[in-house]
Amino acid sequence: MRLPKRIKRFVVAYDVCVKDDSYVEKRNSAKRRTKIMRVLYDYGIRTQLSVFEVVLKSRQYEELIERVEKILRKETDKVYIYPIDAGSESKIVRLGKEINILGDMFL
């Protein structure tokens, strides 16, 4: 999927669910959650426990989706990728503790 040039920033939220209360299921869900978190750290910064802000080029956007789909259990887990267009980007308001800036990724 090709993205319009004006869209480069995204908010990614995920929810990894547990099917039952068995030890094995809880452990497997925790592993999936950790793997998804590590993938998202490759593209941006964590703003909440299961929310990341990422800056992507079209190629990276497709790569991110492919990587997450390999980990995701489609019957129970959810990942939402919300685009932030250039017009909305200038209106982002961040309150509270300042986000740790990594290079010029988040100007």
Enumerate the known binding-site residues: 15
- Binding site for Mg(2+), by residue number, is 15
Decide if 73 contacts 15 (C-beta within 8 A): no
